[in-house]
A and B are shown apart, each in its own frame.
Chain A
Amino acid sequence: MGSQEMTDRVASIQAADAPERLFTSSSPVAIEIRDLHKTFRIPRHRITTFKERASNPFGRTEFRELRTLRGISLDIYRGEFFGIVGRNGSGKSTLLKIMASIYAADAGSIRIAGRMAPFIELGVGFDPELAARDNIILNGVMMGLTKREAEQRIDAILDFAELRDFEDLKLKNYSSGMTVRLAFSVMVQADADVLLIDEVLAVGDASFAQKCTDTFYEMRNAGKTIVLVTHDMGAVQTYCDRAMLIHDGESQFLGDPEEVGRRYLQLNFSRESGIIDADPGQASPDVHAKVVDVWLEDRDGRRQKNVDGRDQIRVRSIIEARERLENFVVAYHLYDARGIHIYGFNYSAKDFENGPPDVLEVGEKVRIAVDLPNQLAKGHYFLRCWVARDRGPGDLTLQVFDLLDFVVYNVDPIAGMITVDPVVSSETVE
């Protein structure tokens, strides 16, 4: 790739608000993970005292096996900002803790180049009875500095944390914001080659948070490798070069953070709504109907991926009957990224004057156009539809389709989830 072309590409990526990709896969590997397994044995009834043991000397403890990691393999390159994303209990934190030598793996190997420092929590080992200076040394050594290195960095750390005036104050007299700033500064100055971070990005007030953001970019540009475990998709899409979606201890997707974010939301969505019990990313099996095509249109009839907040939501879909459908009903339901059901409606001959045909023969296709007023707040939305097959009283089957997910953009901030068009009047009363 020519350098001009590269510049253009970077510029265009920046313009699109996507993270710039500074590392390349030709960078040396900084973290190499091979076929990592971890199973926790969780006792059904935990014997925590000798007294219990003595009163039940022959009772065997039964264990429940929790297979938290099932063969994770991964290469993270030097200078990469890598995200690990997953739901609670997916194994993402366990993976991080094994990398950090906090948990032992059952099988597989991890190799890391350079000095690694984990930040599972900010300010681990902080002692409220000690002054900031002593805590910096304590925390710094725990983060992998030698004592002398920690001592040399006290001033830089205090300056970065903007806590110079409070260096001799005991930590118990610090506000929580000050403590967090101090902890973050130690982390920055700990100068590790590989940083393992668990959900500690949102730090302090707005100006300090910006400073932290800048610092992360600086660190990455300085060739530090950063692994971030989070369920904040915003952070992943803003910071990360690549990300991995982990689910039930397995890597579900590895690559583009945007795609990871999208799949993560889908995963969350399908679980929390409880409607679909299928594997994410796998289309519903075609039973009695099939969605042949579905798209969004703008006002000029061009296909769009997302919805301009100043335009209507125009959904077009073509549905084909796989079996004869009597009393044909389609229902549309809209959800937000958290899986909250925003609204829904049915579409059938019964409900609309110019509705769809009452009966669809096998192979017959129907094109349905839905125009919805856009009252939505800025955000990520999911549209699904249900096609009903009515085989007589009491025998109604629904087939569910994930039609679309789209982002509504270009919306002024609104209060709540939707805008309304209120009719309000007032008059002065005695």
Chain B
Amino acid sequence: MSTTAAENLAEASVHQLREVRGPSAIGGGRRRFFELLLLMSTTDFRKTFFGTVLGYAWSLLRPLLTFGVLLIVFTKIVRIGSTIPDYPMFLLFNIVFFGFFQEATVTATTSVVGRESIVRKTQFPRLVIPLAAVLTGLMNLGMNMIAVAIFFAVFGVGPFWTWLLFPLLLLAMLLITCAMATLLSALFVRRRDVAIIWGVMSMALFYGSAVLIPISFVPEGLLRDLMLFNPLAVIMVQAHEWIIDPSAQGAVEAAGSWLLLIPAAVIFVGACAWSVVFFNREAPRVAEEL
């Protein structure tokens, strides 16, 4: 048997002793991290879409039903919606877009505990688990957006050139979702009522992020300023201007000055940084806490 240089090299690498660094958020190599992330999220995604007969229709049912109920409430009962241009499309888009944040964070909260056997029985980069929940949510968002696009075409909304800026909104949304998802998943390991608390808090955020009513309906002053401390509200407000109605107030206009958006930016960056630090700190011990 002839041994080539490559074989010798492979042989040598097998002999090379390497430090075992223990469990961590992203341990085990970048390639493995991304492969696991993709595999886990696509698996869950495929299960929701191809697992049942109704598949896609079934997954659309929830946002569409929410949309239907709220549309009736805000156009037939409260009647605020009737005064807002393209209110149905505003509502539909907001429910789907904000729904991504809600769904992904709620799923991620219990994800690490739910995947207990993986955490406790394999060498597994911990961060993959909450991020896979976010990625699955992102795929669902993509599918839902197809439905939204069809509604937009039917109701004659757009196209506007500002639609090209949607990736920016999506990126901001994705970042804050990842931050909250990792934070909550690590917190839930220690405190099991996090899931309940977050259920209520995400509901509060739903009302406090200008999802149902445009920001212009919130009286100027302290309340609006406080509302715009919330990075999610800033994203949703900006989405209204860029996606639905170019004449609507954007984030800067709604705040009155870009200075008033600084707190939201600080909170945004702070949440991202905290999630990274916190998850990194917790990751090595997760298997013991479970």
Contact = CB atoms under 8 A, between A and B. Distances in A.
Interface of A: 28-29, 32, 40, 47-51, 53, 78, 97-105, 109-114, 116, 118, 120-121, 124-125, 127, 129-130, 134, 137-138, 141-144, 146-147, 193
Closest 10 CB pairs of A and B: A104-B22, A111-B17, A49-B193, A120-B121, A104-B284, A110-B20, A101-B123, A114-B14, A124-B121, A121-B121
Given A50-B194, A101-B123, A112 B20 contact: yes
B122 A118 contact: yes
Interface in B117-136: 117-124
Interface in B69-94: none
Contacts of B15: 28, 78, 113-114
5 contacts: A102-B287, A112-B18, A124-B121, A137-B39, A146-B31
B36 A142 contact: yes
Contacts of A32: 17
B39 A193 contact: no
B191 A147 contact: no
Contacts of B23: 101-104
Interface of B: 13-23, 27-28, 31-32, 35-36, 39, 43, 47, 51, 117-124, 190-194, 197, 284-285, 287-288
A32 B47 CA distance: 43
Nearest to A147: B35
Contacts of A98: 20, 22
Contact of B122 (A105, A112, A124, A127): A124
A193 B11 CA distance: 11
Contact of A101 (B13, B27, B197): B27
A146 B285 contact: no
A138 B39 contact: yes
Contacts of B193: 49-51
A147 B22 contact: no
Contacts of B32: 141, 144, 146
A361 B21 CA distance: 65
Given A40-B288, A102-B287, A141 B35 contact: yes
A49 B17 contact: no
B22 A111 contact: no
A105 to B, nearest CB: 6
A130 B43 contact: yes
Given A110-B20, A113-B14, A50 B197 contact: yes
B121 A113 contact: no
Contacts of B19: 109-111
B17 A103 contact: no
A349 B32 CA distance: 76
B123 A113 contact: no
A109 B190 CA distance: 28
B109 to A, nearest CB: 13
Contacts of A40: 288
A141 B36 contact: yes
A406 B19 CA distance: 44
Nearest to A126: B117
A48 B31 CA distance: 35
Given A49-B192, A147-B35, A113 B16 contact: yes
Given A100-B123, A111-B17, A114-B13, 7 more contacts: A101-B20, A101-B27, A101-B28, A102-B123, A124-B118, A141-B35, A142-B124
B230 to A, nearest CB: 21
A125 B284 contact: no
B185 to A, nearest CB: 16
B39 A116 contact: no
Contacts of A125: 117-118, 122
A51 B13 CA distance: 52
A53 B288 CA distance: 20
A121 B116 CA distance: 13
Contacts of B36: 141-142
B47 A129 contact: yes
A83 to B, nearest CB: 20
A135 B65 CA distance: 34
Contacts of B190: 48
Contacts of A118: 121-123
B110 to A, nearest CB: 14
A50 to B, nearest CB: 5
B14 A120 contact: no
Contacts of A120: 120-122
A77 B191 CA distance: 43
Nearest to A101: B123
A355 B95 CA distance: 95
Contacts of A102: 23, 119-123, 287
Contacts of B124: 142
Contact of B20 (A78, A99, A121): A99
Contact of B17 (A97, A113, A129, A142): A113
Nearest to B20: A110
A88 B192 CA distance: 29
A90 B124 CA distance: 25
